[in-house]
Structure 1
Amino acid sequence: MIFIMEQMKALNALAPFLALTKSATSPRAAADLITRATSAPGTYVFAELREAPQVQALSQSAEHAPYLNLLDIFSYGTYDSYKSTANLPSLNDQQAIKLRQLSLLTLARDPNNLSYASLQKSLDLPDTRALEDLVISAVYADLITAQLDPYNQTVHISSVSPLRDLAPNSIPNMLSSLQTWSNRCTSTLSDLEAQIAGIKADAARRHREVEARTVVQDKLISEEKEREKSGGVHGRDPGG
C-alpha cells in the first residue's frame, strides 16, 4: 500500500508536465519540457512523459534527440551512465541531485555497491560529506530507508521506493530472475520438508524406543514383584 502511494505521488507530480505536452509542438518546447520535468520536485517516474508523441518526435531531431536520451537516463539509468554517454545536455543543480538520488535506487540492488568509496565513484561525488548529504536527502525524499555507517564507511539501505521505470527489454530478464528465485525457493522448501520429515521420523523412532524400554522395565519390575511375593509365601515358617 505504501509503494502504491509513493508511485501515485510521483505520477501526480508529473501530471502537469504531461498536460503541457499537448502544447509542446516544437522540438525546442519538448526539450524544454523534459528539462523542467526532470528538475521539478517530486518527479521520479517518466515513462508516461516519454510516451508522449511530442517527446517521441525528438528522436527525429539531431539537435534535440539528446534530450530524449537524457530522459531515458532519468527513467532507468544512473549518474555513471550519464557521465559515460557523449553529447548529453548539461545538468542543472536540481537535475544533478535528482539523478544521483535515483541512481541510489539502482545501486542499492547490490550491497557491494554501497561502500563510501564505491558510491563516491559511481555518483561522482568529491568527498564523504557530499555522499552523506546526498543519502540524507534521499531519505528525506522518501526514496530510501537507510543508515550511514561512517566507522565502516558503508551505507546500509533497508528499503527502496519502486520509483524507477523499466528499461526496454528488461521484462524477459526480470522474468528469468524471478523464475530462478522461484526455483531456488522450491528447492529450499523441498530441503526443509525433507529435514522436517527426518526430524519427525527420528522423533518417532526415539519415542518407540522409549516405549519399548518402558515395557521391558515394567515387565522386569512385575516379575521381580512376583518373585518377591512368591519367595515370601514359600519362605514363611508353617509352625510359627
Structure 2
Amino acid sequence: MTQDMLLGNEEPSKSKETFLEKFCVLAKSANGAALLDVIRQALEAPNVFVFGELLAEPNVAQLKGGPDAKYLETLNLFAYGTYKEYRAQPEKFIELSPAMQKKLQHLTIVSLAIKAKSIPYALLLSELDIDNVRHLEDIIIEAIYADIIHGKLFQNTRILEVDYAQGRDIPPGYTGQIVETLQAWVNSCDSVSNCIEMQIKYANAEKSKRLLNKERVEQDLINLKKVLKSQASDSDESMQIDTHGPGTSGGLGLGPSELRKKPSKLRNPRSSAVGLKFGK
C-alpha cells in the first residue's frame, strides 16, 4: 500500500440504476414475515444506499408502533443515521448482520464526507468504532469501490481527502431547513450583486469625473500655449522696433553722421585756447 492512494477518480455514474426499486415492488404486496424479510434483504444489498422510497411504502410505514417496529427504526437508521447512533442504543434496532454493519459504516463515512472534504483518521476511527488503522483503510477503500465516495488516503498525515460523496436520504421535516438555507444563500447572492452594482456605478462616476478633468486640463494647456505664443510674438515685434527705429542711441535724436561729427568738435579744447592767446 503506497503512502498516499488516489482512488475513485472517475466521475460518478449519471445513469446509476435504482437498485432499491425491486425491493419497493416486493414490499407493496408483502406482509408479516415476508415484509420483514424484504427489509432485511434491502439492508444487506450491496448496491442499495438510499431507502426513502421503501420507507414511503404504506406496508412499511404501518410497522410503526407495532411489534416489529424495530425494523422500521433500523430502516430509518440506515436512511438518516450513523454507526455511532447504532452503537449508542443497539436495543432500539434489530441485530445487524456483518454485511449490515459494514454498510452502516460506509453510510457513516458518506455523512462525514458530505460535511467536510478533509476527514482525519481519528474522527473516522471514533465514528466507526474501530481501533485499527488498517481495518479503517480497508472500509474506506470498500466505500470507494462501491462508488459512494471518491477520495485520496494520506497515510503520513492520516487524512481522507474527499472529492465526491453520494447524497443520503432527506429526513422528514428537513426540507424546510434546506429551503431556509437556500433562501439565505439567495439573499446573500442578492446582497453581493447589489454591492457590485453600486461599485460599478461609483467606478463609472469616477471615470466620468476623470474624463472631464482631463478635458479641462487639456483645454487649459491649449489656452496657455496660445497666451505664451502671443506674448512671444509681441516681444519679437518690440525688439525689431528698438533696433531699427530712430533714436536708438540713447534717445538723443542723433544720427550716425552726427555721432561721427560731434566728437571732432569737442576734441582738444586747450589747443583752441592756446591759439587765441598767441594771436594777441
Query: Is the Cα contact below 8 Å between 1:30 and 1:58 reproduced in 2?
Result: no
| Letter paired with 1:200 | N
Q: Does 1:221 align with 2:225?
A: yes
Q: Does 1:127 align with 2:146?
A: no
Cα distance in 2 for residues equivalent to 1:190 and 1:225: 53
Summarize the alignment of residues 1-240 of structure 1 with structure 2, pairs less than 5 Å apart: 5=14, 9=17, 11=18, 13-26=19-32, 28-62=33-67, 64-87=68-91, 88-111=93-116, 114-162=119-167, 164-236=168-240, 239=244
Cα distance in 2 for residues equivalent to 1:203 and 1:178: 37
Cα distance in 1 for residues equivalent to 2:157 and 2:195: 36
Q: Cα 1:232–1:119, aligned 2, differ >3 Å: closer, same or farther?
A: farther
Q: Cα 1:108–1:18, aligned 2, differ >3 Å: closer, same or farther?
A: same
After TM superposition, give the deviation of residue 33 of structure 1 in Å: 1.4
Partner of 2:94, secondary structure, is coil
Q: Cα 1:30–1:114, aligned 2, differ >3 Å: closer, same or farther?
A: same
Q: Cα 1:220–1:51, aligned 2, differ >3 Å: closer, same or farther?
A: same
Q: Cα 1:90–1:207, aligned 2, differ >3 Å: closer, same or farther?
A: farther
| RMSD of aligned Cα (Å) | 2.9
After TM superposition, give the deviation of residue 151 of structure 1 in Å: 4.1
TM (norm. structure 1) is 0.81
After TM superposition, give the deviation of residue 25 of structure 1 in Å: 2.3
For structure 2, the 5+ residue unaligned runs are 1-10, 246-280
Whichever structure has more helix as a proportion of its residues is 1
| Letter paired with 1:96 | Q
For structure 1, the 5+ residue unaligned runs are none
Partner of 1:177, secondary structure, is helix
Partner of 1:226, secondary structure, is helix
Q: Cα 1:208–1:118, aligned 2, differ >3 Å: closer, same or farther?
A: farther
Rg larger in structure: 2
Q: Cα 1:215–1:101, aligned 2, differ >3 Å: closer, same or farther?
A: farther
Partner of 2:130, secondary structure, is coil
| Letter paired with 1:14 | L
| Letter paired with 2:14 | M
TM (norm. structure 2) is 0.71
Aligned length: 233
Q: Cα 1:197–1:49, aligned 2, differ >3 Å: closer, same or farther?
A: same
Query: Is the Cα contact below 8 Å between 2:120 and 2:160 reproduced in 1?
Result: yes
Query: Is the Cα contact below 8 Å between 2:50 and 2:169 reproduced in 1?
Result: yes
Query: Is the Cα contact below 8 Å between 2:117 and 2:163 reproduced in 1?
Result: no
